[in-house]
Amino acid sequence: MEGSVLEVAATAFALLMEPSRLVFLFAGVLIGLALGVIPGLGGIVGMALLLPFTFDMDPYSAFAFLLGMGSVVTTSDTIPAVLFGVPGTTGSAATILDGHPLAKKGQAGRAFGAAYTASLIGGVFGALLLAVSIPILRPVMLYLGSPELLAFAVLGLSMVAVLSGSSPLRGLAAAGFGLMIAMVGSDPQVGELRCTLGTLSLWDCLPLVPVTLGLFALPELADMAIERRTIAGDSKIDSRSGQWQGVKDTFRNWWLVIRCAWIGATLGAIPGIGAAVIDWIAYGHAARTEKGADKTFGTGDIRGVIASEASNNAKEGGALVPTIAFGVPGSASMAILLGAFLVHGLIPGPDMLTRNLDVTYTMVWSVALANILGAGLCFAFSDQFAKIALIRQPIIMPLILTVIFVGAFQGSRQWGDLYTLLFFGVLGWIMKRQGWPRPPLILGVVLGDIVERYLFISVSRYGADWLMRPVVAVVFVIALWGLARPLLREVRAAGGIAGMFSGLGKPRFDVGSVFYLGFIGLILAMVIEATGWKFDAKITPLIVGCFTLAVAAFSLINHTLRQGSAKGDSAQARATKSLHLDLKADTTLETGVMLKRAAVFLAWLLAFLGLMAMIGMLPTSALFVILYMRIEGREKWTLVLSCSAGLTFFSYVLFERLLSIPWPRTVIGAWFPALKDLIPSL
């Protein structure tokens, strides 16, 4: 297509404004908002679900439909993150740290207002970057190789120092454990099976969705059940006034929005970084640069919500840059979008910047308009969403748990997903209770495989010369400074090196010490098993494992010998007790009562898995809602049956008919095969 860029952009806008294409864009936005609210689904599922419907559309309508969906998933995923502490997608995990505490204070409306405004600005910023940068970034993207991608991953890992808060040693140990978890499965170099426990489900590493839901979702739901409270407790809900306060907060922190949107769009354009880590990097940047953040982040600071959400939506525009310019997907959902290119006879690359430039700019307009529509719809209905925080716990708990179980299962669609969810749910609850930061762990899980893969490729192809590449050197210096800065601050707070080894007292053993010993034992077992692997498969796990053991052992010594450090692991922890970049476990219950209620909640989770194995997912969903609401809440039968029927119908339509999830084989299905024709989930 000939003509100036502005003329082509205007033509593309006119093409998109045709009523039929606007209808497809609006439909995509509605579907994307719905998928974002349901934990475990997200853009990948949406792209796979909608792609077949685009075969008979023209390219403009097809990409409006698909990008309308993909652009707003990270707008509505704020709703479960704020209300329940449950990430709607893996990209909203950082939003939980300040969004959920705001909901507990009755300020869910304020969190929504700030999140939607930041998402809108970030999404439009990402589209703008896409519009102006494709021709400019093309030579830059061609220059980036495995060493540069490795450097960017290491830069992401340097955020561990910030996200560890007042527990730097615990944070480093948690990140090391996350890196070890990321190496579970088939080794990318020689195909060695590592720590698979003889199960097929672990051959392809641990799925990220169950790990994230386990670490961040189940502990919050467990605490809600233990405390037997609504989300907002006794606080009043801020409605429209709270939303406008959130909008004002966003524009008051406009420079933070722009910075985090730039981070999201830039990192989104780098293949392999992934959506699950971008919001953490933006959150860590805000925690490091914003005034007073070390005292307020993690307790309900609106700036934490703004930083995470601005980067979230901006990354979609960035991810389109390598997808359009080189045919290299910038994210997993972009890989499915490439299928739409092939279906409509489009070839990513130079043609998209010349002959098919109108299609490219249609994508730009689709992303921008989708963000505007998505934010507008969320603003219109967030008043109703905020009131969910007042619903009684026995009513809302079984509904959320059922959706979480299904969302976790649909990742790789194996029983191992549910076991992973339960394991990390228990681990996350204990970490929260013991003051261990969870963000470094998930950061290690996300980046571990990336670091190992690109390190192997860089060394194999370039030897030691890859360290001398300019971009690599600069990024490594920034990353090392990011890691060293909090450690130097800790040394100063302790009064120098000598001060770090002073103030030791008699050993003090408690529940935290038991958790330390269990943690060290698990890492040690993984290291011992790694010694029997082939050299290429074991070198990275052994280095990471030994480092993690050393850090955990030193942290244990601090915990048991340093007086007055029950909640910290260093002098820095005592100096900055208020800094803890994770949700805090606040409870007034006696330990015995808390543990008893926690055991009851765990029993409910195990009962769900047992029922699912016996009678299948859909019957279990219906029965679980009935049992929980009647036993835990003594709710009226009319309410119980209506909730059970509504959830079962919703699950059947979405998971059975639309997504066609292949449910695992059940005991009753094996005994009575004829029943499978009546109830497919058996």
Neighbours of 600 (CB within 10 A): 13
Q: Which residues contact 311 (CB under 8 A, 6 or more apart)?
A: 122, 260, 261, 263, 264, 267, 278, 279, 281, 282
- Structure token pair of residue 56: 């008979």
Q: Report the alpha-carbon distance of residue 528 to residue 605 in Å, rounded.
A: 32
Q: What is the pLDDT of residue 424?
A: 92
Q: Report the alpha-carbon distance of residue 629 to residue 524 in Å, rounded.
A: 43
> Do 29 and 73 meet the contact criterion of CB atoms below 8 Å apart?
no
SS3 173: helix
Q: Report the alpha-carbon distance of residue 652 to residue 646 in Å, rounded.
A: 10
Whole-model pTM?
0.77
Is 327 exposed, middle or buried, given 0-12, 13-18 or 19+ CB atoms closer than 10 A? Answer: middle
Helix, strand and coil content of the chain, in percent to the nearest 5, comes to 75, 0, 25
What secondary structure, in 3-state letters, does 613-671 show? HHHCHHHHHHHHHHHHHHHHHCCCHHHHHHHHHHHHHHHHHHHHHHCCCCCCCCHHHHH
- Structure token pair of residue 98: 């300040």
Q: Report the alpha-carbon distance of residue 30 to residue 391 in Å, rounded.
A: 25
Closest CA to 168 of 586, 551, 583: 551
Give me the residue label for tokens 């529509």: 373
Interior/surface letters 194-221, b for 16+ CB within 10 angstroms, e for the rest: bbbeeeebbeebbbbbbbbbbbbbbbbb
Q: Report the alpha-carbon distance of residue 122 to residue 145 in Å, rounded.
A: 27
Is 662 exposed, middle or buried, given 0-12, 13-18 or 19+ CB atoms closer than 10 A? Answer: exposed
- Structure token pair of residue 381: 């209905």
What amino acid is encoded at 275 in this protein?
Answer: A
- Which residues of the chain are under the pLDDT cut of 50? 1-2, 564-568, 570-578
Q: What is the pLDDT of residue 12?
A: 83
Q: Which residues contact 468 (CB under 8 A, 6 or more apart)?
A: none
Q: What is the pLDDT of residue 426?
A: 92
Cα-based distances in Å from 489 to 288, 456, 495, 542:
13, 34, 10, 29
- Structure token pair of residue 463: 């030897």
Is 378 exposed, middle or buried, given 0-12, 13-18 or 19+ CB atoms closer than 10 A? Answer: buried
Q: For the chain, which residues make up each domain, given as ranges?
A: 5-51+58-229+237-575, 593-677
Q: Report the alpha-carbon distance of residue 642 to residue 644 in Å, rounded.
A: 5
Cα torsion through 188, 193, 195, 199, rounded to 10:
120
Q: In whole angstroms, what separates CA 643 from the centre of its chain?
A: 28
- Residue 283 has φ and ψ, to the nearest 5°, of -65, -45
Closest CA to 208 of 51, 42, 78, 334: 42
Q: Report the alpha-carbon distance of residue 279 to residue 99 in Å, rounded.
A: 13
What amino acid is encoded at 374 in this protein?
Answer: G
End-to-end CA distance of the chain: 54
Closest CA to 313 of 361, 389, 378, 231: 378
SS3 298: coil
Q: What is the pLDDT of residue 217?
A: 81
> Do 134 and 455 meet the contact criterion of CB atoms below 8 Å apart?
no
Long-range contacts of 475-480 (CB under 8 A, 24+ apart): 475/148, 475/151, 475/152, 475/154, 475/155, 476/151, 476/154, 478/155, 478/158, 479/151, 479/154, 479/155, 479/157, 479/158, 480/158
> Do 314 and 125 meet the contact criterion of CB atoms below 8 Å apart?
yes
pLDDT per position as a tens digit, 269-317: 776 666 667 888 888 888 878 887 777 787 788 998 898 888 887 887 7
Closest CA to 488 of 575, 567, 573, 572: 572
SS3 315: helix
Phi/psi region, residue 230 (left: phi>0; alpha: psi -120 to 50; beta: rest), is beta
What secondary structure letter does DSSP report for 390?
A: G
Neighbours of 495 (CB within 10 A): 12
Phi/psi region, residue 228 (left: phi>0; alpha: psi -120 to 50; beta: rest), is left
> Do 175 and 451 meet the contact criterion of CB atoms below 8 Å apart?
no
Q: What is the pLDDT of residue 427?
A: 92
- As separate numbers, helices (DSSP H) first and strands (DSSP E) second, the chain gives 32, 2
Neighbours of 652 (CB within 10 A): 18
Q: What is the pLDDT of residue 568?
A: 46
